[in-house]
Amino acid sequence: MKAYLIEKPNKGMLTDVSVPAPADDEILVEVKAAGICGTDVHIFKGEYYGGYPRIPGHEFSGVVAAVGKNVTKFKVGQHIAADPNIFCEKCDQCKANIQNFCEDMHAVGVTRHGAFAQYLTVPERCVFDITGMNFTEAALVEPLACVVYGQEKAGVPLGASVLIMGAGPIGLMHLQLAKMNGVAEVVVVDIFEHKLVLATKLGADKVYLADEFEKSDQRNKYELVIDCTGVPKVVESSIKYVKDSGTMLFFGVCPDNSTIIINPYEIFKRELRLIGSFALKKTYGKALKLAKSGKINLTALVDKKLTLDDLPEYFNNLSSVNHGFKTVVYPNGII
């Protein structure tokens, strides 16, 4: 089968490898759609350790092509998607119900081969039925599950004003989910006008270009501020927008050696909550139901469709500023 393999950091290639055989408790999936995410870029650049060589891709959907002998709930031909996180459910962290910090964590496309290939294997316990959904939407359930987890962690007060920094695919998922959580208004900020246009279409009450927003001086106004940029300077300058007693959710992934300046007196005096949310934990099923309901528009977030043949060029020409929305790869042909 064809696969995009990262041999070592900054060296990826299209290659031919044999179709993996599913273990007894695994399913072989013919991959129909796979989203490209920041994590794949980090793996390509060697900034995220999962071991090499690696076929990346952890946001995917497809068709069951074969099942191991102990698989009971799925059959060949069924349309499925999967939570890529494989928790051991045995370690102290798993027993404490903080599985996203599992001591023996595995993840499809990170510590084992992923979806930028025509086929992959995944344990049955990670797999979900997606009957009735299209493959592109279903591939985006994984990032939506992270967004669901983030808003559950942060808490979204009814009637709140919510500020979202960054109108990429993740920011626009946060926008749509916040609207469903009973907030009074969602304001979205970005540096690109065309991203704000889509934010407005997807329900943003107000949108601002970043410099206009800075000038409008809206400090102490938002019960919840969600950073979806992962830019330390943006995070640092966003804390002032959190209302007294409000919450700032650190969602965008900042470089792991970055620092920001926080005034501890401000955190104390204004009773601010600074919350992190890492990956997802058991929210995949909820995100899938939301996506199935049609209440969250995932297909509008896709602006680029690629085949496996396009991937070497894509990863070799990554730009530092992300102009686009979501790129989806179709390993068995664009659909």
Q: Which is nearer to Zn ion, 20 or 143 (CB)?
A: 143
Question: Tokens 């050696």 correspond to what residue?
Answer: 257
Q: Which is nearer to Zn ion, 160 or 296 (CB)?
A: 296
Find the binding residues for Zn ion in span 204-233 (CB under 5 A).
none
The stretch among 35-43, 169-177, 239-247, 269-277 that binds Zn ion (CB under 5 A) is 35-43
Q: In sequence order, what are the residues at sequence separation of 6 or more whose Cβ sits closer than 8 angstroms to the Cβ of residue 212?
A: none
Find the binding residues for Zn ion in span 60-89 (CB under 5 A).
88
Q: How far is CA 201 from CA 212, 228, 236, in A?
A: 20, 19, 28
Spell out the alpha helix ranges (H) of the chain: 38-45, 92-95, 135-139, 141-154, 169-180, 193-201, 210-215, 232-238, 264-269, 284-293, 311-316
Q: Which is nearer to Zn ion, 88 or 300 (CB)?
A: 88
Least separation, in Å, of the C-beta of 92 and Zn ion? 8
The stretch among 39-47, 108-116, 120-128, 220-228 that binds Zn ion (CB under 5 A) is 39-47
C-alpha to C-alpha distance for 301 and 203, rounded to whole angstroms: 13
| Peptide linkage before 53 cis (omega within 30 of 0) | yes
Asked if 98 touches Zn ion (CB under 5 A), the answer is no
Among 17, 66, 91, 210, binds Zn ion (CB under 5 A): 91
Q: 273-282 as b/e, with b when 16 or more CB fall inside 10 Å?
A: eebebebbbb
How many chain residues are in contact with Zn ion, going by CB under 5 A? 6
Least separation, in Å, of the C-beta of 37 and Zn ion? 3
The stretch among 32-40, 116-124, 166-174, 258-266 that binds Zn ion (CB under 5 A) is 32-40
Least separation, in Å, of the C-beta of 212 and Zn ion? 30
Backbone φ and ψ of 327, nearest 5° = -100, 130
CB contact at 8 A, 314 and 327: yes
Least separation, in Å, of the C-beta of 155 and Zn ion? 23
Among 3, 27, 33, 94, binds Zn ion (CB under 5 A): 94
Question: What residue type is 298 in one-letter code?
Answer: L
Could you tell me whether strands 26-35 and 119-123 are parallel, antiparallel, or unpaired per DSSP bridges?
A: antiparallel
Among 55, 102, 162, 224, binds Zn ion (CB under 5 A): 102
Q: Which is nearer to Zn ion, 178 or 279 (CB)?
A: 279
Q: How far is CA 82 from CA 26, 34, 140, 208, in A?
A: 12, 11, 11, 36
Given the rule CB under 5 A, which residues bind Zn ion?
Answer: 37, 39, 88, 91, 94, 102
